[in-house]
């Protein structure tokens, strides 16, 4: 038999004979504290992915900044490269945040240490 925390951190049971377990899970999952933890987890994931993305896409931001100070023909080239690149970078960022949120947050009861494990990269459940 599993202990309480391992049962509560797992996704909601799908079997119909566990209706009481599903009701308890939904009650805890929809509580105010859990909603706050999920919101904070989404914020932390967005910050984590943004900072990680800046490591790879910082030249694009410098090119866009340089477009403000460059003369006419050069600034058009810089903006033509930087703007689509930044858009692609933001799309990849959003996809990564959504995927990690779905994988590690959605459908799970969050405990106190789970937010720190999100930042460290460890398992959140």
Q: What is the pLDDT of residues 17-75, one digit of tens each?
A: 688 888 999 999 999 999 999 999 999 999 999 999 999 999 999 999 999 999 999 99
For residue 81, give its domain range: 4-120
User: Token digits for 44?
Assistant: 């932390």
The CA distance from 88 to 97, in Å, is 14
Asked whether residue 14 carries a pLDDT value surpassing 50, the answer given is yes
Residue 114 lies in a domain: yes
Residue 125 lies in a domain: no
Kindly give, in sequence order, each residue whose CB lies less than 8 Å from that of residue 96, ignoring residues fewer than 6 positions away: 49, 53
Residue 41: count of CB within 10 angstroms of its CB: 22
Number of domains in the chain: 1
The CA distance from 92 to 66, in Å, is 23
Asked whether residue 4 carries a pLDDT value surpassing 80, the answer given is no
């Amino acid at each position: 038999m599993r202990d309480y925390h391992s049962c509560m951190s797992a996704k909601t049971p799908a079997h119909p004979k566990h209706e009481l377990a599903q009701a308890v899970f939904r009650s805890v999952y929809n509580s105010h504290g859990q909603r706050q933890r999920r919101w904070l987890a989404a914020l932390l994931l967005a910050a984590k992915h943004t900072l990680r993305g800046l490591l790879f896409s910082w030249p694009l931001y410098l090119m866009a900044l340089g477009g403000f100070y460059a003369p006419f023909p050069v600034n058009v080239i810089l903006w033509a490269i930087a703007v689509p690149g930044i858009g692609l970078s933001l799309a990849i960022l959003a996809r990564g945040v959504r995927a990690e949120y779905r994988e590690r947050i959605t459908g799970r009861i969050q405990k106190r240490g789970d937010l720190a494990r999100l930042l460290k990269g460890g398992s959140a459940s």
